[in-house]
Amino acid sequence: MPRQTTNIFQLFQSFSWSTFLDINEWEEYIKIVNTEEYILKRDQDFFIIKFYDYQKSNNSLLARENYITLNVHKNLNILDFINYWANEDRNTFGYNFNGINIFKKIIGGISNIKVSSEYRNEIQIRGGSLLIKPEKLNELQNESNLINKKVSSSKFSLSNYLVNQAKFTFLNKRTKRTTSSVKGDFEFLIHRFNLMTKNEKKDFLNYLSEDDVNSLGLLFDGMIKKEVFNKDYLKKLDEYFIKEKLDKIIKNGKEILLLKKDDINSQEAKELIRRLFNDNIGQLETVWQRFFENYLLYLFFSYKKIIPKVELKDLDNLDKKYPDFIGVNHYDGIDVIEIKTHLKNILVWDGSHNNFAFSSEMSKAIIQTINYMDAISDDKIRKSKNKKDLLAYLNIDENLYRPKGIIIISSLSKICKNQNKLSENQKKLLIKDFTKLRNSISNIQVFTFDEILSIAERYTENFKN
């Protein structure tokens, strides 16, 4: 008789409840006395093992329903399998439940396992039985145990976290914060969130609270800054935030450029504005102001801070008491930024002098911007908080009193009224005079809306290359 089989019988003989057993080492079986209930028996080339619980309270053996039956080939060491499946308590030969329940869920409804090194495949299901090689069974058992440990650890971590939260809520008692999660905990949640069923923002927000979103933002921000992610992923982030984000911004800007009238009450205009800003806006100039409020930092790469609508005082000659934006650039300079619309003309044709001159809209925009610049230079910022916000981003305080101006107005097809009716010579002169006139304004830069979008477009092209 093989030595390992003898060891099995010695094991059962050592149990305190062995008196319940009929142990026949010669015929190779172990059964319950006076019954035909076998715990172990030989069936041709396999040893069949069933599990029973010894009930100490009433001194009896109890067969459990839905227990898995093990069939171990005679050439294998049965003890290797008993050590995993059997409870270590000498008072019972029941399941070691730590990993078995997970194991049962993995194999899903299989109640009979046959283990042999002679199978062609590592693992297969045949006629309701799981046929498996011992090495593969060992892998499956280890994986079951690992899953069980992770589940137990996650339950403990969640319980600990919620208890500590309750301590703070009810007792104002804050405990030391520690990272109690283990490697792999994130994989489950992330895998669930990456399911193909989530196609829109709302599909994610169905499962995320505002605190969840804020916490994820802080986590990813820290991980990006500390370069926890690999370089390939960080490169993808660059591509998204620089190229893909800009592509979307440029597309939105070009759609606004297609609006042909200052009156934006048409159904088409309303639908565009609602789609871009999720809001109802009544004026075209306000549309552009909202566009730049959202995207100015993407379109002007030299700014470290943009502050909208800083109210100024002693501007009795102006209807509007604040510039659209004040930008703090990376050279610690202050820019006053004024936004008009793409339909405003910059130049008018002066037939008496056979050249172009600034239009009334452009002249008003220049005077308005100069007045804002002068008010800032004279320290006429109405709210001290706005001034503190600006100074917080300046290394040199004196630069607050030396602002420059930027006017964004018109488009290349609207520089002059009835531009499409100009002769070829006039069109050439238009470009020349436009360049000359806008370069002649001291401390003020003039851009058309499509020039701003073109600068961003060229930037993305350079990035792609």
The pLDDT tens digits of the residues spanning 129-174 come to: 889 999 998 898 888 888 888 888 778 777 887 888 888 787 787 7
Do 206 and 289 fall within a single domain? no
* Domain stop point among 211, 229, 247: 229
Q: What is the pLDDT of residue 465?
A: 52
Name which of 35, 107, 98 is nearest 66 in CA terms: 107
User: Rg of the Cα trace of the chain?
Assistant: 39
Task: Answer yes or no: are the C-beta atoms of 346 and 377 closer than 8 Å.
Answer: no
Least reliable range by pLDDT among 138-142, 426-430, 450-454: 138-142
Residue 26: inside a domain: yes
Name which of 25, 31, 33, 32 is nearest 9 in CA terms: 25
Do 438 and 319 fall within a single domain? yes
Whether residue 2 is predicted with pLDDT greater than 50 in this model: the reply is no
Residue 280: inside a domain: no
Q: Using 50, 70 and 90 to split pLDDT, how confident is the model at 21?
A: confident
Q: What is the pLDDT of residue 339?
A: 95
Q: What is the pLDDT of residue 416?
A: 95
Do 53 and 174 fall within a single domain? no
Q: Using 50, 70 and 90 to split pLDDT, how confident is the model at 65?
A: low
Task: Answer yes or no: are the C-beta atoms of 70 and 115 closer than 8 Å.
Answer: yes
Whole-angstrom Cα distance, residue 294 to residue 289?
9
Residue 236: inside a domain: no
Q: What is the pLDDT of residue 1?
A: 41
Geometric angle at alpha carbon 126, from 125 and 130, rounded to 5°: 45
Q: What is the pLDDT of residue 463?
A: 65
Q: Tens of pLDDT along 238-268? A: 777 777 888 899 999 999 999 998 888 889 9
Residue 261: inside a domain: no
Do 322 and 410 fall within a single domain? yes
Do 314 and 460 fall within a single domain? yes
pTM of the shown model: 0.56
The amino acid at 149: K
Residue 209: inside a domain: yes
Sign of CA dihedral 387, 390, 392, 394: negative
359, two tokens:
């239009």
Do 361 and 413 fall within a single domain? yes
In order of 370, 391, 418, 443, the CA distances from 377 in angstroms are 10, 14, 39, 13
Q: Using 50, 70 and 90 to split pLDDT, how confident is the model at 97?
A: low
317, two tokens:
């000659």
Q: Domain holding 450: CATH number?
A: 3.40.1350
Q: What is the pLDDT of residue 91?
A: 53
Residue 274: inside a domain: no
The amino acid at 210: E
Q: Tens of pLDDT along 101-120? A: 778 788 887 888 899 999 99
Do 116 and 199 fall within a single domain? no
Do 184 and 129 fall within a single domain? no
Task: Answer yes or no: are the C-beta atoms of 91 and 17 closer than 8 Å.
Answer: yes
* Domain stop point among 208, 229, 250: 229
Residue 244: inside a domain: no
**Per-residue exposure over 344-353, b if at least 16 CB sit within 10 Å of its own CB, e if not:** bbbbebeeee
Residue 50: inside a domain: yes
Do 112 and 186 fall within a single domain? no
Q: Between helices 284-299 and 267-277, what is the axis angle to 10°?
A: 30
Domain count, the chain: 3
Do 142 and 168 fall within a single domain? no
Contacts of 288 (CB under 8 A, 6+ apart): 256, 339, 340, 341, 342, 408, 449
Whole-angstrom Cα distance, residue 287 to residue 266?
14
Domain that holds residue 17: 3-148
Whole-angstrom Cα distance, residue 350 to residue 356?
5
Do 193 and 101 fall within a single domain? no
Do 458 and 326 fall within a single domain? yes
Identify the residue whose tokens are 């006039």.
Answer: 426
Q: What is the pLDDT of residue 98?
A: 58
